[in-house]
A and B are shown apart, each in its own frame.
Chain A
Amino acid sequence: MKLLAVLAAVVTALAVAPEARAQDVPADDPDFGPVIVIEDIEVVGNRSTQADVIVRALPLEIGDALRAGDKRLRDARFKLLALGFFRDVTLGLRKGQERGRVVLTVTVVERGTVVLNRLWFGTSVSSPYWFGVDVAERNLLGTGLSLVGGAIYAGSGDVEGSRDQWAARLRIADPALLGTPYGIRGSIGWIHGSEPFRVAGEPADDRARNFEAFSYQRITARGGVTWDASAFTTFALEARLEAIDVDVPTSPTRALEDGRVSAVDLHLRPGSSEVVSVQVSLDRDSRPDPVLPRSGSRFAAQAELGSTLLGGSYDFASVDTRYERWWPIGKAAALGLRLKGGVVLGDPPRFDLIHVGDVDPLLTSRALGLTLSAASPGDLLDTGTAEASYGEVGGSVGVEYARHLFTRTSLIYGGDWFVGGGLWALSSRDDLALRDASVWRSLPVDLFLDAGLRLDTGLGVFELTIANALGRVPL
């Protein structure tokens, strides 16, 4: 951590170049410009987006009296662009019926609002193939509602007891209810899963014969409210109801290398069980460009409390946090720091534990809740991480250097190559409590490295990285 502090100091010093003084622009004059009264707001060019949705997003309304130099007028165009519904927005003013009154004309050029959010595909020992997509319509029927649907299918491999898996999730959200900073959102998901667990073999031996799988089904409903506290900060409060139906093997065990047999805790109630929980979350993102970041930061945190007092079968609490900060190195490069961590307390269902794919970027992440690979980590530092599959305490810290690669064209806005790496750790609270050495020596910690290319284009964003490839085709 001392090294990271030094690193941050170096980068901060580099960032304070003479150009930083250029930010010393004179303060706004609140008395600049004639006083005008908004007599009417006309919306032009909207073919699918309802005019009300556009007018509600403006930072001013009919009847407002303000200076023509008011920040709200300057910001109006960007408030509309921030909806993500328009390719361009042009504002105009013309004289109204009486002196001092003006009509604000908003001309929009709509864009396609269907977004391919994610594409899942790959192969592993436990799932020889999987394929899935997550697609969103961000402006459903022009109402400003967001509808997101995701589905994935994974074939079963040679793991005993495994079956084909599939999952689907449908999410709907109104991020600005009636133009207010409050929103609502809800989702429903169905998982028909098959979860592998190790029953034999050395930790690094990922052959199918060393695993068995059990079948389960999860149906999850979530609903909650959001609050945009500022342009960059959103809070959310959400409830979760989940029904789990699991066919847990009786007394699952694992044959250890020394001949002993140990019990395997699958962290699930046999048969049917329920999860009832409440969740609060915060997301603050101040990166001017989240695709090819050069500055700013993002912080996201989520705390969840599940209880039998609420009607569930599990008493647990969890906290997940993520922090990312970027420092510019001139205009062409940037250094990023990424921190991610979580802790789960109590008696959570297996699916709420931290999976090794959540913290090690070189492994396959879970997709829509499905575990697609039982591959073990590389254990590059020989600290015993190959044993890690699920844990209650985990996280990662990474540093990334990104540098501008492409000159901007009409279609490719920019491209970066990047190289990065860091450390991740995952453990259970019991393993940490029953250690015979310091926390640092007892904590399975491993290294990850990554490099690749990112493109920001008119058709979306693309990333080609070593870690991404390894997550799809484990070596």
Chain B
Amino acid sequence: MRLLSVVVALAVLAAPAATARGDEDDDVAQKSQKMKFTEKDGEILVTTKINKLFDSAAYEAIGSGFESTILIRIWVYKKGGSDPVAFTVLQRKVIYDMWDEVYEIQLDGPDGRSKQKVKYRAEALKLLTRIDALPIADAGDLAYEEHHYLTTVVELNPVSEETLAEVRRWLTKGGGGGLDRGGGLFGSMVSVFVNPKISDADRVMRLKSQPFYRPTP
């Protein structure tokens, strides 16, 4: 029982290091980006771009006929705070209709869903990567003169945990035996095979804004 207590204590000690925020990740470095913040009709709005998410391959893939999806998660934090003041999620999709030669775009956000069709890939990219006066928080949730900042995680073609589990399930599927009482994936110290890694998204970008505040009227 003492051992279990120790493990619980370890877990609790580790908890403050947990990623309860959107600005920590082991694999992708966070970059600073200047963003424009305004207040209108009781809401804080942000304007910025995420076009660096697309390299040339990703840009070409927009015209492949397959769906490209961008998932944008946005958090607003009080400077020095650990809990987000507000959270917003956006999803943007594009598919090229190779017979009508148009790009179909679907935008999901706080205001609901909208669809558009555009002729050129560059137009499609602009719609996908421009964040224009997006409401990110109720103004009342941000006290006057207190500094806040925004963090965002942008993923291109994110892969669900279920799909990742399916892709790697062959690792633990038996080779025809049944439950091996003494076995398991580990236990033999080593298992050697060609082991390609499947990423949980084609590309990931993490951005942090400059601090901003609401001036006292």
**Footprint of B on A, CB under 8 Å?**
3-4, 6-7, 10-11, 14, 17-19, 21-22, 24-26, 29, 32-34, 36, 68-69, 73-75, 78-79, 81-84, 86-88, 91-95, 99-100, 102, 111-120, 134, 136, 138, 146, 148, 169, 171-173, 175, 185-187, 222, 231-232, 234, 236, 238, 279, 281, 283, 285-291, 295-296, 298, 300-302, 320, 322, 329-333, 335, 342, 354-355, 357-358, 365-367, 399-401, 403-404, 407-408, 413, 419-422, 447, 449, 454, 456-465, 468
In the assembled complex, the CB of B121 is this many whole angstroms from the nearest CB of chain A, namely: 16
- Whether B176 pairs with A173 at a CB distance below 8 angstroms is yes
Interface residues of B in 158-200 (CB under 8 A from A): 159, 161-179, 181-183, 185-198
A440 to B36, CA, bound (A): 65
Q: Which of B15, B179, B186, B196 contacts A463 (CB 8 A)?
A: B186
Given contacts A296-B165, A329-B14, A460-B193, contact A148 B64 (CB under 8 A): no
Task: Please give 18 more A-B residue pairs, beta carbons under 8 A apart, in addition to A34-B104, A92-B64, A302-B179.
Answer: A17-B18, A18-B21, A18-B84, A22-B89, A68-B95, A93-B64, A102-B98, A118-B183, A134-B188, A171-B177, A186-B176, A231-B169, A283-B173, A296-B161, A322-B179, A459-B195, A460-B191, A465-B186
Looking at the assembled complex, report how far the CB atom of A46 sits from the nearest CB atom of chain B, in whole angstroms.
Answer: 16
Shortest Cβ gap from B14 to chain A (Å) = 5
CB atoms of B189 and A68 under 8 A apart: no
B106 at the binding interface (Cβ < 8 Å): yes
Known pairs A117-B188, A330-B17; A111 contacts B87 (CB<8 A): no
List 16 contacting pairs A-B, 8 Å CB cutoff, sorted by A.
A10-B12, A18-B22, A18-B83, A19-B22, A21-B89, A78-B198, A113-B194, A117-B175, A118-B187, A281-B178, A289-B168, A320-B181, A329-B17, A332-B26, A367-B182, A461-B195
A73, A116, A146, A291: the one within 8 Å of B67 (CB): A73
The 10 A-B residue pairs with the shortest CB-CB distance, nearest first, are A365-B182, A330-B18, A93-B65, A171-B176, A118-B188, A148-B175, A185-B176, A84-B170, A460-B192, A173-B176
A81 touches B1 (CB 8 A): no
Complex contact A332–B179 (CB within 8 A): no
A3 near B8: Cβ-Cβ < 8 Å: yes
- Which A residues touch B19, using CB under 8 A? 17, 19, 330-332
Whether the pair B95, A115 counts as a contact (CB closer than 8 A) is no
Assess whether A461 is in contact with B185, with CB atoms less than 8 Å apart.
yes
Which listed residue, B17, B100, B197, touches A34 by the CB 8 Å rule? B100
Separation in Å of the B113 CB from the closest CB of chain A?
7
Q: Would A34 and B194 count as touching, CB distance under 8 A?
A: no
Residues from chain B with a CB closer than 8 A to the CB of A32 are 67, 93, 95, 104, 106, 115
Within the complex, the shortest CB–CB distance from B88 to chain A, in Å, comes to 10
- Expressed in whole angstroms, the minimum distance between the Cβ of A264 and any Cβ of chain B is 22
Q: A457 to B115, alpha carbons, bound, how many Å?
A: 43
**B161/A68 in contact, CB under 8 A:** no
Closest Cβ of chain A: how far from B35's Cβ, in Å?
A: 19
Residues on B facing A (Cβ under 8 Å): 1, 3-5, 7-8, 10-12, 14-15, 17-22, 24-27, 64-67, 71, 73, 75, 83-84, 87, 89, 91, 93, 95, 97-100, 104, 106, 108, 113, 115, 153, 159, 161-179, 181-183, 185-198
Given A29-B106, A73-B66, A354-B181, A34 contacting B175 (CB threshold 8 A): no
Considering only CB atoms, which chain A residue lies closest to B153 in the complex?
A: A22
Across the two chains, which residue of chain A brings its CB closest to B163?
A78
When distances are taken between beta carbons in the complex, the residues of chain B under 8 Å from A234 are 173
CB-defined contacts of B175 to chain A, threshold 8 Å: 117, 136, 146, 148, 171, 173
Closest to A6 in B: B8
Contact A3 B4 (CB under 8 A): yes
Question: How distant is A442 from chain B, measured CB to nearest CB, in Å?
Answer: 19
Q: Contacts A117-B188, A231-B166, A403-B14 hold; do A7 and B182 have CB atoms under 8 A apart?
A: no
